[in-house]
Amino acid sequence: MTKTVLDVGNCNPDHSALSRMLLNNYDVQILRAHGLKDTLEILQKEPVHLVLINRKLDMDYSDGLEILKVLKQDEKWKPIPAMIITNYPEHQEAAVEAGAEYGFGKLQFAESATHERLSRYLDKKVTA
């Protein structure tokens, strides 16, 4: 079953790299948001299986942790797994404290630990 991933706050090059990594490894479709407003609009309309939030949002460089906190404080969105994309362990830990699953950084796309984390929520792509 194809899962839906919502990518929040990544610039075009990072969104492309993240999408390529996800599409090459998992049976997913990827939706894109840039801030809280469009994130909530998408979540209202689409069933999303995983939310990936950039630590620094591309539109205004605000903190993606704030979007995570809004999602995790709302009973409607709280059950949806979310991860922060950052290379910094201290920011990962702050995100986990706010209700996120431990995420990964852009420098870790190829690491097995990243794929172990993602595989909990996404189905691996079947290759012939």
Q: Which residues form the domain of 100?
A: 3-119
Question: How many domains would you assign to the chain?
Answer: 1
Examine residue 35 and state whether it is found in any structural domain, yes or no: yes
Read out DSSP for 52-76? EEESB-TTT--BHHHHHHHHHHSTT
The whole-number pLDDT of residue 128 equals 54
The CATH number of whichever domain residue 7 belongs to comes to: 3.40.50.2300
Examine residue 127 and state whether it is found in any structural domain, yes or no: no
Examine residue 128 and state whether it is found in any structural domain, yes or no: no
- The 10s digit of each residue's pLDDT in 23-56 is 999 999 999 999 999 999 999 999 999 999 999 9
| Low-confidence residues in the chain, pLDDT < 70 | 127-128
Q: How far apart are alpha carbons 108 and 59 in whole angstroms?
A: 23
pTM of the model: 0.96
Contacts of 10-15 spanning 24+ positions with Cβ under 8 A:
10/54, 10/58, 10/85, 11/58, 14/54, 14/58, 14/106
